[in-house]
Structure 1
Amino acid sequence: MRMKPSRNLLLVLCSMLALGFLYYSSGRITLRGWGHKSLYDKQGFLLKLDGILPLELMFKYGNLSEGACKPGFAAAKMTAIYPKFIKLAPMFLDPNYKRFSRIGDYSPPFGIKSQEKIIDILLSATKNYGLGEELDSLSCKTCIIVGNGGILANRSLGQRIDEFDVVIRLNEAPVKGFEKDVGSKTTMRVTYPEGAIQKTERYESESLFVLSAFKALDFKWLRHMVFNQKLRSTDGFWKSVAKHVPREPSDIRILNPYFIQEASFKLIGLPRNNGQMGRGNIPTLGTVAITMALHNCDEVAVAGFGYNMSTPHAPLHYYEKIRMSAIRESWTHNISKEKEFLMKLVKAGVIQDWTNGICGAGC
């Protein structure tokens, strides 16, 4: 008879001890089970971004001569701060693009759903799906994404930019007349119909034209460009578009939309909006290009990036007089959240920012 109260008392005491331990551990100490989450932010990035290489990477890259390309460096550093990163996505769509099930689930800009027929036609016409034989054969590639920011003006970075294996430019940003600051080399120009260069004489003689499709209509536009057909209507575009792209079909590529999807939903954490383009859920083309480079380049640098809203009268672009305040009116982008993401990359040394526009004094 006396055993029951003792047993009940023991059960009560054990329960209280267990609850007490759970309460104490959740607030005071870090255990592997609970504390693991506290090491990372809600996107999955390490909270402590000090740029220090993990020990295994220090050994891997410590013996390379100064200035030598570091194989796998950007992806290794990215994985160190974002363990969910998987280097699996090629830059451009190729005939086997349907193996990426993630892009088949979404319509443009996050995928290729319902666009397979026209994409197959385009790919059969272009017949090329890489950077070109010389660049594709490199065992280590350095890449720089040249943004269009006014911060590039009068920095004299042109020669350093041209030293990269792959130079990525965006939209209609001009090169001619600005070589001292932005370089003269262009490996590829990533754009969409409304952002493409409209004056044919301004196209580089040797570069890849890369479409980043944001809507189904963009693929139809590209079909006209690839087959050199006259564009009879521009209905559905939000501003005027290029009527002709002076490139051979073999120099035209389609950007893998996986990078838009990954940048928006995973890396920045923009609203999914049921997989539709909506308010504040589209990354800028610059961030999409950086995401692409992290998957496909061994070392990644940027120049001409960064919107400084504290200087609304500063020039937005290096080549025109539009002011910084104009970006405030952007409907599709979330500049502040995007900047948070890019700052993580710079702080951790995943990418190098040559114009120091992403962090300013904040890194």
Structure 2
Amino acid sequence: RPVGLLYLIISIFLLLLLPPELAYKYGNLSEGVCKPGYAAAKMTTIYPKFMKPAPMFLDRNFKRLAKVSSYLPPFGFKTQERIIDSILTTTKNYGLGEELDSLSCKRCIIVGNGGILSNKSLGSRIDDYDVVVRLNEAPVAGYRKDVGSKTTMRITYPEGAIQKPESYEKDFLFVFSAFKPLDFKWLRQMVFKEKLRGTEGFWKSVAHHVPQEPTEIRILNPYFIQEAAFQFIGLPFNNGLMGKGNIPTLGTVAITMALHNCDEVAVAGFGYDMNTPHAPLHYYETVKMSAIKESWTHNISKEKEFLRKLVKANVITDLTNGI
């Protein structure tokens, strides 16, 4: 079959791009077997300074993380140490859970919210991954055929979190990503199940309750926001403060997190095609592509360039070919 032959030629070519010891290591694995260290090895071919170790979530030793301790949110946690301490004392867990943490090779998929996921029937392929990452309020119920039913973690921030408690899945990690100091106050109220107070300062309404036990809540390491913004996409540094066009999207932050903590990384539902203004923006609502204006916080075109680079270098696999 010509397609099979093409696949073989491409595979051989990609192996030639790796250092000989890795080409040998991966060349001997049968197809479909998880390749230990693969994403990081490929990443260092395009970003030679890439270093794999970077914890996924903050734990009780978080103050030792030099790269983030001197930055304010979203690029670090400066000024928020006490509140983070009180949250982490209550959540008590700082990993993915025993079963996943003990895997010697992890295959992860980041499921974006793009309309491109509709009618692709990728659900069972998505569920095959060890770690399935979902973003913000993107639903599973009613869309399982296309987006799968497994959720290992849902990464979100106050304005992006699901607002109706009954819309949450039963079994997943609620992973919080902070973009401003106020976000940590919100998280503390969610963890301690307090009545939500002080909502001025959010740019839209936020969830009043997260129906997860504290032990199922995690704080994403802000290093991934910092690294995605400044090392990878090349957004303006702005003295390390949040400013115009220097915040990466949560999808790119999630991919960055996966490159450090997973051996193979795939994505689905990524990519905005501005040439199809009438296509649905998200798989779960009728808002059209034309609704996305140039954002104040994100630089969509620079980000697209970065993601294309990852796909081209085979660092990540794009199941929906939208990047």
Secondary structure in structure 1 of the residue aligned to 2:159: coil
> Which stretches of structure 1, 4 residues or longer, exceed 2 Å deviation after superposition?
50-56
Secondary structure in structure 2 of the residue aligned to 1:283: coil
- For 1:165 and 1:86, the matched residues in 2 are separated by 23
Residue among 209, 217, 221 paired with 1:244: 209
- For 1:329 and 1:268, the matched residues in 2 are separated by 17
Report how many aligned residue pairs link the two structures: 309
Secondary structure in structure 2 of the residue aligned to 1:143: strand
1:97 Cα offset (Å) = 1.1
Q: Does 1:82 align with 2:50?
A: no
- For 1:194 and 1:352, the matched residues in 2 are separated by 29
Q: Which residue of 1 aligns with 2:65?
A: 100
Q: Map of 1:77-226 to 2, 5 A cutoff?
A: 77-226=42-191
Q: Map of 1:1-363 to 2, 5 A cutoff?
A: 51=14, 52-358=17-323
The residue type paired with residue 248 of structure 1 is: E
- For 2:309 and 2:20, the matched residues in 1 are separated by 20
Superposed CA RMSD in Å reads 0.9
Once the two structures are superposed, residues 4-59 of structure 1 have per-residue CA deviations (whole angstroms, 9 ceiling, x without a partner) of xxxxxxxxxxxxxxxxxxxxxxxxxxxxxxxxxxxxxxxxxxxxxx8433322211
The residue type paired with residue 240 of structure 1 is: S
Secondary structure in structure 1 of the residue aligned to 2:133: strand
The residue type paired with residue 183 of structure 1 is: G
1:341 Cα offset (Å) = 0.3
Q: 8 Å contact 2:265–2:317 — kept in the other structure?
A: yes
1:270 Cα offset (Å) = 0.1
Q: 8 Å contact 2:108–2:265 — kept in the other structure?
A: yes
1:327 Cα offset (Å) = 2.0
- For 1:74 and 1:215, the matched residues in 2 are separated by 30
1:81 Cα offset (Å) = 1.6
Q: Which has the larger radius of gyration?
A: 1
- For 2:241 and 2:109, the matched residues in 1 are separated by 30
- For 1:72 and 1:87, the matched residues in 2 are separated by 9
The residue type paired with residue 237 of structure 1 is: F
Once the two structures are superposed, residues 176-212 of structure 1 have per-residue CA deviations (whole angstroms, 9 ceiling, x without a partner) of 0000000000000000000000011111100000000
- For 2:30 and 2:230, the matched residues in 1 are separated by 38
Q: 8 Å contact 2:76–2:222 — kept in the other structure?
A: yes
- For 1:293 and 1:66, the matched residues in 2 are separated by 21
1:296 Cα offset (Å) = 0.1
- For 1:168 and 1:326, the matched residues in 2 are separated by 25
- For 2:322 and 2:115, the matched residues in 1 are separated by 10
- For 2:271 and 2:295, the matched residues in 1 are separated by 15
The residue type paired with residue 306 of structure 1 is: G
1:150 Cα offset (Å) = 0.3
1:275 Cα offset (Å) = 1.0
Unmatched runs of 5 consecutive residues or more in structure 2: 1-12
- For 2:127 and 2:67, the matched residues in 1 are separated by 35
Q: Which residue of 1 aligns with 2:4?
A: none
Secondary structure in structure 1 of the residue aligned to 2:77: coil
Q: With the length of structure 2 as denominator, give the TM-score of the two structures.
A: 0.94
- For 1:227 and 1:83, the matched residues in 2 are separated by 43
Q: Which residue of 2 aligns with 1:37?
A: none
1:233 Cα offset (Å) = 3.2
- For 2:40 and 2:193, the matched residues in 1 are separated by 38
Percent of aligned pairs with the same amino acid: 77
Q: 8 Å contact 2:229–2:248 — kept in the other structure?
A: yes
Once the two structures are superposed, residues 106-144 of structure 1 have per-residue CA deviations (whole angstroms, 9 ceiling, x without a partner) of 100000001100000000000000000000000000000
- For 2:252 and 2:311, the matched residues in 1 are separated by 13
Secondary structure in structure 2 of the residue aligned to 1:352: strand
Secondary structure in structure 2 of the residue aligned to 1:194: helix
The residue type paired with residue 70 of structure 1 is: K
Q: 8 Å contact 2:294–2:300 — kept in the other structure?
A: no
